[in-house]
Structure 1
Amino acid sequence: MFDPFGDFDSKGYLRNTRKDKAPVIIKHMEHNLFRANLADALTYLADQDVIEYGHFLEVHRLLFGNYYPWAGEDRQMTAPHLLVSKSDTTFCEPRSIHLAIDQGLRLAQREQRMGDVPGEIMGLFAYGHPFLDGNGRTMLLVHMELAHRAGFSIDWPATNKDDYLRALTLEIESPGRGILDRYLLPFCGPVIDRNQWADNVLAMKGLDGLDDENQVEGDLRDASVAEKYRQFDEARNYSYRHAVPGAPDAADDLDYTEEYRGKGSGPYLS
Structure 2
Amino acid sequence: MTAFICATCGTQHAPSATPPARCAICEDPRQWVPAGGQAWTTMEALSRRHAIGWREVAPGLLGLGVFPDFAIGQRALLVRTPQGNVLWDCVALLDPATVALVKALGGLKAIAVSHPHFYTSMVEWARAFDCPVLLHEADRAWVMRPDPAIRFWSGEAQEVLPGLTLHRLGGHFAGGTILHRAEGPGAILTGDIASVTPDRRHISFMWSFPNWVPLPAAEVARIGAALEALEFDAIYGGWWDRVMASGGKAAARDSVARYIRALAGPEPLAP
**Does the alignment reach a TM-score above 0.5?**
no
Bigger strand fraction: 2
TM-score, normalisation: structure 2:
0.35
Q: When you count helix as a share of all residues, which structure comes out higher?
A: 1
**TM-score, with structure 1 as normaliser:** 0.35
